[in-house]
Amino acid sequence: MSVGPAWEVREGESAASWFTVRLAFADGARIDVLAVVCEGCVFFEDVRARPALSPDDLTVLADWIEEPLLQACGLGAEPGAEGGTAPAARARPAWPRGDEGRRQVARAYLAAQEEGADPVLAVMSATGYGRRKSLVLIAQARDAGLLPPRHARR
C-alpha cells in the first residue's frame, strides 16, 4: 500500500487534506483511492478498482486504508503504540443509543424527506456512520413505529 499527499485546503483553523492511496495485490488486482481527511474523519472522493469491487469489498476497503491515511496526516497512532489506534481513527459524533437514538434517526430521516433530499444520506451525515449501519438504525426506528413502513401493505 502506498499513501501520498495530493493537496491541502486550509480555512481558518480547519484543513482538508486529499491523499492518493494505491493498493496493489500479488494477483495483479489494483485499487486507487482519492481520499479526504478532514477533522479526523476519512471520506472517499473516488475509488477505481480492477477488477471491480463489490459493496462488501468497499466496506472492507475503508477498514484497510483508514489507519494508514490517518498516520500519513499525523492523526493515527504510531506503529507499536499502546492501544493501536488513535481516538481520531473512529471520530464520530456521539450518538445516543436506545429510544433517543431512534427518535433522532427518525427526525433526520423525515426532515430530509420533507426537503426532498436523500433520507439515508441525511441519517449517515447525522450519525457519522456508513450506509449499512445507517440502514440498520433506520430499520430500528421503523420497528419502533417512528417511521412509516417501507412498503405499503396490500
pLDDT for position 91: 47
Position with higher pLDDT, 131 vs 79 = 131
Helix (H) or strand (E) holding 28: none
Residue 13 confidence (pLDDT) above 50: yes
Contact 85, 121 (CB under 8 A): no
Helix (H) or strand (E) holding 55: helix 55-72
Tell me the pTM: 0.46
- Tell me what percent of the residues of the chain surpass a pLDDT of 70: 84
137 by Cβ neighbours in 10 Å (0-12 / 13-18 / 19+) ranks as buried
Please name the amino acid found at residue 27.
D
Least confident of 4-18, 25-39, 83-97, 112-126: 83-97
Contact 100, 146 (CB under 8 A): no
pLDDT for position 6: 79
Position with higher pLDDT, 40 vs 121 = 121
- Tell me what percent of the residues of the chain surpass a pLDDT of 90: 14
Give 51-106 pLDDT, tens digit per residue.
Answer: 887 777 777 777 777 777 777 766 655 444 444 434 344 445 567 778 888 999 99
